[in-house]
Structure 1
Amino acid sequence: MDPVLALAGLGVGIVVGLTGMGGGALMTPVLVLFFGVPPLAAVSSDLVASAVMKPFGSFVHIRRGTVNWRLVGWLCAGSVPCAFLGVLLMRAIGTGGGIQHAVQLALGVALLLAVMGLIVKSLRETSRRDDAPSATPLRVRPLPTLLLGAVGGLVVGLTSVGSGSLIIVVLLALYPMLRANDLVGTDLVQAVPLVAAAALGHVLFGDFHLDLSLGILVGSIPGVLIGARLSSRAPARVVRAALVVVLLASALKLFGAPNLVLLVTLGVTVVVGVLGSAVRRGALGRRPAAVGSRVYADSHTA
């Protein structure tokens, strides 16, 4: 068993427990790029490991009551059958080098979608606090939620990416008033049957390697428990920023981008992110002052 692989699993597990995203989006590219695992074997082994890891983080959120069970039900109704269908679809594409290349490209596209979703999520959060309670009860929209689960399940079955990275950001778009810790808890719980269905398909029809899955699980199980305990106490903005950089780098490498292009793109991303964060902090810092000035003026006018 490779201790470096277990260490990588620990880091990925912490990110998954803390933010509800990043499992397949981080672990599968790590297996492909740093451990030389073929893409199909990486997808299969990572999905099996995720199917064992995610229930540990989900249990923490269930105990804390940060799970919307209606959302979980509608998401799973679409995602579970489509995840198994995604495995069969990937199997039908072909075998050998062709399917490995197709999976690698699909994985790169899924990572770019995850990056864009994370950026949209961060922009939406500039207008409200992460922990702001909703003034009205959350109204579940069955059909859009079912379709979201179906698309997410299909992507997960094909690439192992999407159970958290893609679904969680679309959930935020559909339900912007869902609190951050409820969002993470709901996403982790719905991912359990979704990933289990995709993992079963890969065990039967994919390229599952038991030694890879065990190596990931040694680190990821304690990691996801640590991250889940921190998720209700620590803000996830810094983790999401690091996740954007890692996902973008992984996607570019999967597309075969030269190292110079990779470094320039990441440098620009970091600079833009730092400037955007500074502008956001300045805007939030001016907002209370403006409110205070208006109250002061109203009281003296009265």
Structure 2
Amino acid sequence: MTITYVLSGFAVGLLVGLTGVGGGSLMTPLLTLLFGVSPTVAVGTDLAFASTTKAAGTVAHRYRGTVHWDIVRHLCYGALPAALLATIGLKYFGALDKEIGQIIRYSIAFSVLLTVVALLFRGRMQAWVLKHPEKQLQGTKLTIATIVVGAILGTLVTISSIGAGAIGATILVLLYPRLSPAEIAGTDIAYAVPLTAIAAFGHWWLGSINWVLLGALLLGSLPGITIGSLAAKAVPEKILRGLLATTLTGVAAKLVF
């Protein structure tokens, strides 16, 4: 089974490298559906997985100067308290209970569907915002909106482990349409590091991290994401995103039904 986990980590890492979509939308449903891992443990293990891989990504983006730290700070103002409150809520209501596990399962499905929307319509949404500059938020309103978005994503990520990748990047595109794709990616990854770390620590406190599983996934994902990143330019992005969106839609349906 350990070899299977390593291969799964490799496959997810490869897809993340090719598409840029966060591993949570792939890894968490995979652990739940294919390996029968409980939703809570799948979320906790994936958060620890994400905090490790995103930390490495942040170092690279910081070196390239593609992180807007003021946006990261405002996102964290909302996301980090929300992650703590969501963890306390899971503790209070019993994160490992069957009923809570089912709620988390539905939360994962909802987050996966949001990821599909982000994959398919991000370009169109960005084009619309750029064509209507009067609709763009400025100054204090933009700051407040960024903090609120951070709080929503912090809650979503802590409960489902999904949201800090494609969903977060899409919302950043809508709020800050003038940023380059590299700046969107760097800023999105940078704020996700403390968020996933705090959420992972919370799940460690809840006892919902499988450390052996985590090690096996990382063993496969690190070479996978490297190969995927190097091969990304050779594969048409539209085809990859279309296949990924179709797969994730099926995953969401399977999680619900």
Question: Which interval holds the TM-score relative to the shorter structure?
Answer: 0.7 to 0.9
Given that residues 116 and 245 in structure 2 are in contact (C-alpha distance below 8 angstroms), is that contact kept between their aligned partners in structure 1? Answer: yes
Superimposed CA distance per residue, residues 139-165 of structure 1 (whole angstroms, 9 cap, x where no aligned partner): 773111111111100111111111113
- The answer on whether the counterparts of 1:8 and 1:219 sit within 8 Å (CA) in structure 2 is yes
Shift of 1:124: 3.4
Count of aligned pairs between the two proteins: 248
Alignment of 1:1-302 (within 5 A): 2-17=2-17, 19-94=19-94, 95-124=96-125, 141-227=142-228, 236-256=237-257
- State the Cα deviation string for residues 221-274 of structure 1 (Å, max 9, x = none): 233445556779987444432331222111111011xxxxxxxxxxxxxxxxxx
Change in Cα spacing, 1:236 to 1:55, as seen in structure 2 (3 Å) is farther
TM-score using structure 1 length: 0.74
User: Structure 1 residues 181, 86: closer, same or farther in 2, change over 3 A?
Assistant: same
Please give the root-mean-square deviation of Cα atoms over the aligned residues, in Å: 2.7
> What are the ranges of 5 or more consecutive residues in structure 2 without an aligned counterpart?
130-137
Q: Structure 1 residues 164 and 177, CA, compared in 2 at 3 Å: closer, same or farther?
A: same
Cα 1:223–1:142 shift into 2, 3 Å: farther
Deviation string, structure 1 residues 195-217 (Cα, Å, up to 9, x no partner): 00100000001411111111111
**Percent identity over paired residues:** 36
Residues 151-185 of structure 1, C-alpha deviations (whole Å, 9 max, x = no match): 10011111111111321111111122221121111
Q: How far 1:90 moved relative to its partner?
A: 2.4
Segments of 5+ residues of structure 1 without an aligned counterpart are 129-138, 257-302
Larger Rg: 1
Aligned to 2:163, the other structure's residue is in SS state coil
State the partner residue of 1:282.
none
Contact in 2 for aligned 1:60/1:225 (Cα 8 Å)? no
What is the TM-score of this pair, normalised by structure 2? 0.86
Give the partner amino acid of 1:38.
Answer: S
